[in-house]
Amino acid sequence: MPTTFLSVGHFCYDVSPNGYILGGSASYSTLTARNLGHHARAVTAVGSDFDRENPLLEGIKTLYHESPETTIFDNQYDAKGRRQQFILGSAQQLRGNHIPREWRTSDIAYLCPIADEVSTEVVHCFSDETLIGATPQGWLRQWDASGRVEAKRWGTAKDILPHIDILILSDEDLRSYPDELEKYIGLTSIVVLTQGAQGATLFQNGTQLESAAYSVTEVDPTGAGDVFATAFLINYYQSRSVKEALNFAHCVASFAVEGIGTSCIPKLPQVVSRLQT
């Protein structure tokens, strides 16, 4: 049965050799929800330069808040493949009053900042029945006057985590401050730590559950974490089984890494055919 899936975060542009391409956790997640047959919604903020008629976003109900700038990221890689990120523009913060009242009863709310744009008050907007998930990467970023992005500790974690149901993060998110994981686990009912091709570990009620990723040829990992998170939240909402949700999420994410950007986010029949029992 289709669910209503709401993402809160910036649609953005990523710099590519061929110009700007659509990016951002909110875009990857809503595209995934839509492709899996669910009702996808997004609350975002963009500037006048953002293409709101992008055919990739067809079928996604989006509330655009006007901003002086669109969030833009430039990812630069050195000879060893290490990434340095620069932020070239940043749209306005998303606050509680930006969430439409009629969307506050969505089945699933996904808080997915990429540039520290989701205010702590947003977590209090939703009904008791809404399953609230979050990915923290945007709360873990800061940047200097040149736009150079660096890691920071998540100062508002204690204000957000006790009010959400599921936190999904990657080992890359923890690279600078690995000691933070224990704090997150202590504040949240369910924490899922993804580790790319090495799978994921789920923490719940003092226990750990390991799960394996699907073996595929990786072309581009961009956005795979958001695809995984979306699939996990949708399946968990429907099944209430963390084991089933992990397997489903790994399967969906395995398609996403097989192509560039959003090009290989799968449709549900593709997922069903690949699912391993």
DSSP string, 73-126: EEEEE-TT--EEEEEEE-PPPB-GGGS-GGGTT-SEEEE--SSS-B-GGGGGSS
Position 144 scores a pLDDT of: 96
Single-letter residue type at 29: S
Confidence of residue 17 (pLDDT cuts 50, 70, 90): confident
CATH numbers and ranges of domains, the chain: 4-270 (3.40.1190.20)
Question: Is the model's pLDDT at 248 over the cut of 90?
Answer: yes
DSSP H or E run through 45: strand 39-46
Position 209 scores a pLDDT of: 98
CB 71 within 8 A of CB 47: no
What's the rounded Cα separation, in Å, for the pair 100 and 6? Answer: 11
* % of the chain beyond a pLDDT of 90: 89
The tens digit of pLDDT for each residue in 96-117 reads 999 999 999 999 999 999 999 9
The tens digit of pLDDT for each residue in 206-246 reads 999 999 999 999 888 889 999 999 999 999 999 999 999 99
Pull the structure tokens for residue 268. 């549900």
